[in-house]
Structure 1
Amino acid sequence: MRTATAVVIALCATSSVAGADSWTTYRIPESGTSADIPASLFTEPAGKPDGYGQQFRTSDGRADLTVQAVPNQGLSPAEFLARKNPPSGIIYKRITPRFFVVSSIKRGKIWYDRCNFSRRYVHCVLINYPAAEKRQWDGIVTRISHSLSAG
């Protein structure tokens, strides 16, 4: 019976994530930041982040997405990330002169943060989703991350 239940849960999760068939471009007018987001998946507004932007979540609350821009205070990506005091145990970290990406797992969720740097703003996407659904989210996270733009 456990196997059947696990299969049903996995199929439900897959079909919910596979529902990312309707995409839109979210833009922050103040900063020019934009990112493609699966509007069919992140259907609920979930508040405002620091700076400019919007937080979204899935209707069941299991995943959330933030598209954000904050004024660039002249920090490099490495300096900016260090000031955010990220948790220890980061699984993936890539820092270049123009952006950083960090990702790890916390309380059963994968958190993924990418920030691109321009002269005036730091443009970020932050995504949290169930670690058990990693494969179903990989393409979605990749598209959001690669679409992040300073405008």
Structure 2
Amino acid sequence: MTRQPANGLRVRCARRRNKRDQRAPCRLSRAGRPDGYGQRFRTADGRADLTVQAAPNLANDSPAAFLAKKHPPSRVQYKRVTPRFFAVSSYKGDKVWYDRCNFSGRLVHCVLINYPAEEEHAWDDVVTRMSLSLSGK
């Protein structure tokens, strides 16, 4: 089941329900505002969160320069940087974190997702769909 909050963001979450790895939908509730423009969401049990935001790129940094200024951890598992976006992901404790930011003019449009490492395969489709749907418009 897909939930569509008032702001039009559609999100589908999944988690294992039993040994056969059936998926059950979860709800993301608003959980405050990030820097810049956007919204933060969290599951009711706090196991996962999602931030969708657009922030000013005041220094007009390239994706590589912007990412370097954020000081990502040295043990990043996945990193892709192009002239238009960056995507990075790794583990922090028992969580997976994934950040993707697209660059458009003076704004950086990002999706930041954190979820339990034990649910990584269940979240793969969600992360991929959200990452590919992120627009800088």
> Fold match, TM over 0.5?
yes
For structure 1, list consecutive stretches of 5 or more residues without a partner in the other structure. Answer: 1-20, 28-33
Structural RMSD (CA): 2.0
1:115-135 per-residue CA deviation (whole Å, 9 max, x = no partner) reads: 000012000000000011111
Spell out, residue by residue over 1:13-47, the C-alpha distance to the aligned partner (whole angstroms, 9 max, x if none). Answer: xxxxxxxx2154886xxxxxx96533863421111
Structure scoring higher RCO (CA < 8 A, sep ≥ 6) equals 1
TM-score (norm. length: structure 2): 0.83
The one-letter code matched in structure 2 to 1:47 is: G
Which residue is equivalent to 1:22? 2
Residues matched between the structures, number: 125
**TM-score normalised by L of structure 1:** 0.76
Structure 2 vs 1, CA of residues 53 and 90 (structure 1 numbering), >3 Å: closer, same or farther? Answer: same
Provide the C-alpha distance between the structure 1 equivalents of 2:62 and 2:4, rounded to a whole number of angstroms.
30
Gaps of 5+ in 2: 14-24
Residue 68 (structure 1) aligns with: 53
Structure holding more helix per residue:
1
Instruction: Report which of the two structures shows the higher radius of gyration computed on alpha carbons.
Output: 1
Task: Map residues 1-151 of structure 1 onto 2, 5 A cutoff.
Answer: 21-24=1-4, 36-38=10-12, 41-73=26-58, 74-151=60-137
Alpha-carbon distance in 2 for matches of 1:43, 1:142: 18
After TM superposition, give the deviation of residue 88 of structure 1 in Å.
1.5
